[in-house]
Structure 1
Amino acid sequence: MTQSLTSRRLAPLATPTDLEAHATKDIAAALTALLADVFTLYLKTKNFHWHMSGRHFRDYHLLLDEQGDQIIAMTDAVAERARKVGGTTLRSIGHIARLQRIPDNDADFVTPDDMLAELREDNKQLVSILRQVHQTTSEYDDFATTSLVEGWIDETERRVWFLFEASRTV
């Protein structure tokens, strides 16, 4: 029985795909790095949601809760695309930390205006990252991933827009 379990653990995760090996490698790597950024943005959004304060508390608290739900909803689809194209994806929090490009915020206190501004910039950075992933998936004619990325770009641009409008003073 032990030998059977060991041999199963050593079996490769070779998902069948018609993509060439270099395409699988590049697309899965792009999606895995994207996934690290999505998890980072999710946690930062929830951090700010939990620590919101001030006179617009309720509106901002609800906005960030809604945005957090939208961001976390991306994670499974991103990870599953990496697997569907024949690659692998994140395995741990440490893996996320090694790949993330969106910075953490561990400050004890952040003003509501700074929270909204930081999340707006982080979402803008995510749009840029998504465009890079789109370029990679388009290059290899991975139409399914490209289509998903286009939807995520639209959702992320919407978050940028809402964060911008919520932080306007006029």
Structure 2
Amino acid sequence: MATKSKSPSFTIPGLAKADGAKLAGILQERLTALSDLHLTLKHVHWNVVGPHFIAVHEMIDPHVDEVIAMTDETAERIATLGVSPKGTPGSIVETRTWDDYSLGRATTNEHLGALDEVYVNLIQDHRKVQETVAELDPVSEDMIIGQLRQLELFHWFVRAHLESSGGALSTAGADSETEAAIQAGDAADVTE
């Protein structure tokens, strides 16, 4: 019978078991966020509509593959630390600290506006984790930095659709995913 021990019986050489458990807990939060992002991106891929449908629809899938690779890398790092990674849908819902993605069928700009807010929060949290893990483990820090590089690049792709030629973002000042979607949709209506 499988045990549900939270305390690892081993961790990576040179790291105390308590630090390995702490690091695994921090990485588990990132695993949850990345798993949620993967599912959210597929949801957007299936539900985006409008004049720029094909561009956005096709832009998302390669990044989905990148995010899936990030989840796998993160889960394997947790296992390397001696802890069982949790990737079930129930564990994602149970442990996430944010609301579920709220848009269904919506225009490209509305989804991209909402994704802008999703990425702002995800990247901010990833950066906080990078600072924390830097003190514990350079290998995990390197992994997080590599993920940040990919996440920030895709965020730029999203924002390029929301940016005016003068550099203003249609989502500027939005403090929620829904508000960002509305602002981006309204801005698209004005320009089309």
TM-score of Structure 1 vs Structure 2, range by shorter chain: 0.7 to 0.9
Given candidates 135, 141, 145, the residue that maps to 1:139 is 135
Pairing 1:89-168 to 2, within 5 Å after superposition: 89-140=85-136, 142-168=137-163
Against the structure 1 CA distance between its residues 16 and 33, is the aligned structure 2 distance closer, same or farther, given a 3 Å change threshold? closer
Pairing 1:5-44 to 2, within 5 Å after superposition: 6=1, 9-10=2-3, 14-17=9-12, 18-44=14-40
Against the structure 1 CA distance between its residues 11 and 113, is the aligned structure 2 distance closer, same or farther, given a 3 Å change threshold? closer
Q: Is the Cα contact below 8 Å between 2:127 and 2:148 reproduced in 1?
A: yes
C-alpha deviation, 1:150, in angstroms: 0.7
Q: What is the TM-score when the length of structure 2 is the normalising length? A: 0.76
**Higher mean C-alpha displacement, 71-80 vs 83-92:** 83-92
1:31-54 per-residue CA deviation (whole Å, 9 max, x = no partner) reads: 111111111111111101011111
Amino acid corresponding to residue 162 of structure 1 in structure 2 = F
Amino acid corresponding to residue 146 of structure 2 in structure 1 = G
- Secondary structure at 2:49's aligned position in 1? coil
Q: What is the TM-score when the length of structure 1 is the normalising length? A: 0.85
Against the structure 1 CA distance between its residues 138 and 15, is the aligned structure 2 distance closer, same or farther, given a 3 Å change threshold? same
Amino acid corresponding to residue 35 of structure 1 in structure 2 = L
- Flag the structure with more relative contact order, 1 or 2, with Cα contacts below 8 A and sequence separation at least 6: 1
Unaligned runs of 5+ in 2: 166-192
Amino acid corresponding to residue 81 of structure 2 in structure 1 = V
C-alpha deviation, 1:10, in angstroms: 4.1
Against the structure 1 CA distance between its residues 46 and 11, is the aligned structure 2 distance closer, same or farther, given a 3 Å change threshold? closer
Against the structure 1 CA distance between its residues 117 and 107, is the aligned structure 2 distance closer, same or farther, given a 3 Å change threshold? closer
Given candidates 36, 44, 60, the residue that maps to 2:56 is 60
The residue number in structure 1 matching 2:83 is 87
Aligned identity (percent) is: 25
1:1-49 per-residue CA deviation (whole Å, 9 max, x = no partner) reads: xxxxx4xx34966344231133112211111111111111111111010
C-alpha deviation, 1:166, in angstroms: 2.0
Unaligned runs of 5+ in 1: 1-5
1:46-73 per-residue CA deviation (whole Å, 9 max, x = no partner) reads: 1010111111111010111122111111
